[in-house]
Amino acid sequence: MKKIEKKEKDILVLAIESSCDETAASVVRNGREIMSNAISSQIAIHTKYGGVVPEIASRKHIENVNGVIEKALKDAKITLEDIDVIGVTYGPGLSGSLLVGVSEAKAIAFATGKPLVGVHHIEGHIMANFIEHPDLKPPFLSLVVSGGHTHLVKVVDYGKYEIIGKTRDDAAGEAFDKVARAIGLGYPGGPKIDKISKSGDAKAIEFPRAHVSGAPYDFSFSGLKSAVLNYINSAKMKEEEIVVADVAASFQKAVTDVLVDKAINACNEFGFKTLAIAGGVASNSGLKKAMRKACKSNNVEFVFPSPIYCTDNAAMIGVAAYHEYLNENFAGWNLNAVPALKLGER
Amino acid sequence: MRILALESSGLVASVAIIEDDNLLAEYSTNVEMKHSETLLPMLEEIVKVTKLDLNSIEAIALSNGPGSFTGLRIGSATAKGMGFALGKPIIPVPTLEGLVYNCYGGSGIMCPIMDARRSEVYTALYQFVIKKGTKKDICCKLRVLLEPQAIGIMDLIAEIDKLGKHVTFIGDGIPVYKDIIKEKLKSPASFAKANQNRQRAASIAVRGLELYHEGKYIDSDDEKPEYFRKTQPEREAEEKEKAENIEKK
């Protein structure tokens, strides 16, 4: 498969990511070394509206995209001429947001005559693990948990995936955001719940751990979210005091218990010796702590990216793009954004 | 001087290359909305047939709005990416002026109308004014009679009747509002034909070249579309604030 010999010369990828509310660009050498990682976050703008507003996100991407790309090249101390391939996230994500990065990347590749590759956003998240773990190689199991995704994925080879489970309703990160809003912590919910949970009692309230019957690796978080909302409403009706830290800690424990449980079961059933978590929720300290402990007692190696590579970033897209490039999966000038792109599909 | 022009503000996808007063190539389609899939392949095609060296263009003229938000952004990001990669400036051309340039030099009032949904049109009123200098140098300038804006069709009809002159309508608002215009407008009117009634990159290029000579071009970093409308949550927040201010009073 790998027709291009990577040993001959360094391959530099310029990667662009704009699938949600971060405009990001990065230069990656040989699929492992991050030469730059520029991110322009819109979080302050969307916080005002309690979540990401797609049209605002798209407008901000347009305003920021060139500046971010220029910063990535400058930080890497190279120019566009030095780049070998342009990589861009083309799905899944918000249609309007994706289109900015896709149109920009295509135009740069077209104008310079450089090859273009389209990258799956989730593949990028998984590949983020390669950045800081030079020895990590497929096969391994990956748990992808973010505001938009909750997937258990067999990473069979570079660019080859098999989804064994996913969420039936809310993504894990989505549940964090909704619960955070309900208990008055605001957006973004994940980091805020994580922080306040440290001072709360995770055993204070017994929230349900949902399991989907007949699908041992699928997730469901909407029931848990409803249980938290019911708890708050009934406490208010009874005029009982709500201890926000306890609610947060108990909720977080309920989420992480399910994530850890299913990931470890999958490792054991399919014989994986390595588990790599990925996505925004992968920087949750409660999840990492519980997962580390469970992996240790099950003799599974546990890897996770630094927080900067957990949130949406272009470095991870650059890593994935490098492997797409080696596999000669080049995109045409008709590459479009695919908001509901499935992992393993093109 | 060579100018590359992009137009994707509405249903039409269109690309063109002009060299001073010559249109070297233009490729327009009015079939579907997937500009992300069509615009760049169309550009590749005209670059190929004209054997154009992209580095030989002076600037990129872009139909910069109003129009479909997504369409505008596809054009904008394409122009920005090319402008950045080639080190060339962008000429943001008002889409309504591009439409009027489809009927360059025509007499009477020129009225571009683009369907803006929510019962409104993006529109403006223009007139081509002939300025007689010397005999050799007759120049035709665009005068604005009504500033570009999004308004209801009835309000537009009232504005036109105030002027009481012959008006030519241009744009994709024609099929939507032709019947109402015929019924309600008192002034004499004509409707542009198929070769003039939709956005064309050649017109963006021609108007763009004029704007370029006036120094109205920008760095690709600074390019962003003119949407003519705030986003919904921004509008709602403003309305809420307004209502609260009234209550306070």
Contacts of B240 (CB under 8 A, 6+ apart): none
Task: Compare B249 and A24 and report the one with higher pLDDT.
Answer: A24
Contacts of A111 (CB under 8 A, 6+ apart): B54, B81, B82, B85, B86
Chain B CB contacts of A49 below 8 Å: 233, 237
Name the closest residue on chain B to residue A58, using Cα atoms: B73
> How many percent of chain B have pLDDT more than 70?
96
* Beta-carbon separation of B233 and A106 below 8 A: no
Site from A106, A114, A187, A338 to mutate, B interface, most B CB atoms within 10 angstroms: A106
Chain B CB contacts of A334 below 8 Å: 36-38, 40-41
Does the interface ipTM go beyond 0.85?
A: yes
The Cα of A170 is separated from the nearest Cα of chain B by a number of Å equal to: 23
Residues of chain A with pLDDT under 70: 1-7
| DSSP structure class, residue A30 | T
* pLDDT score at A188: 84
* pLDDT score at A2: 46
Q: How far apart are CA A89 and CA A121, in angstroms?
A: 6
The mean predicted confidence, pLDDT, of chain B is: 95
**Which among A55, A96, A101 has the least Cβ separation from residue B232?**
A55
pLDDT digits over B158-195, tens only? 999 999 999 999 999 999 999 999 999 999 999 999 99
* pLDDT score at A4: 52
Q: How far apart are CA A247 and CA A259, in angstroms?
A: 19
Q: What is the mean pLDDT of residues B200-216?
A: 97
Name the closest residue on chain A to residue B57, using Cα atoms: A111
The Cα of A52 is separated from the nearest Cα of chain B by a number of Å equal to: 11
Domains and CATH numbers, chain A: 12-128+310-326 (3.30.420.40), 138-307 (3.30.420.40)
Domains and CATH numbers, chain B: 2-95+199-230 (3.30.420.40), 96-191 (3.30.420.40)
* pLDDT score at A1: 44
Answer whether residue B215 shows pLDDT above 50: yes
The Cα of B13 is separated from the nearest Cα of chain A by a number of Å equal to: 13
pLDDT digits over B116-150, tens only? 998 899 999 999 998 776 565 567 889 999 999 99
Among residues A50, A80, A53, A76, which one has the least CA distance to residue A66? A80
**Which among B37, B82, B221 has the least Cβ separation from residue A107?**
B82
The Cα of A53 is separated from the nearest Cα of chain B by a number of Å equal to: 8
Find the DSSP H helices in B106-168. Answer: 153-163
Chain A CB contacts of B80 below 8 Å: 62, 65-66, 104, 107
* Beta-carbon separation of B84 and A69 below 8 A: yes
Find the DSSP H helices in B12-68. Answer: 35-50
Task: For chain A, give the longest Cα–Cα distance.
Answer: 71
* Beta-carbon separation of A103 and B234 below 8 A: no
* pLDDT score at A345: 74
* Beta-carbon separation of A99 and B36 below 8 A: yes
The Cα of B175 is separated from the nearest Cα of chain A by a number of Å equal to: 27
Site from A47, A108, A116, A335 to mutate, B interface, most B CB atoms within 10 angstroms: A108
* pLDDT score at B140: 83
* pLDDT score at B240: 87
**Which residue is listed with tokens 């973004």?**
A188
* pLDDT score at A283: 95
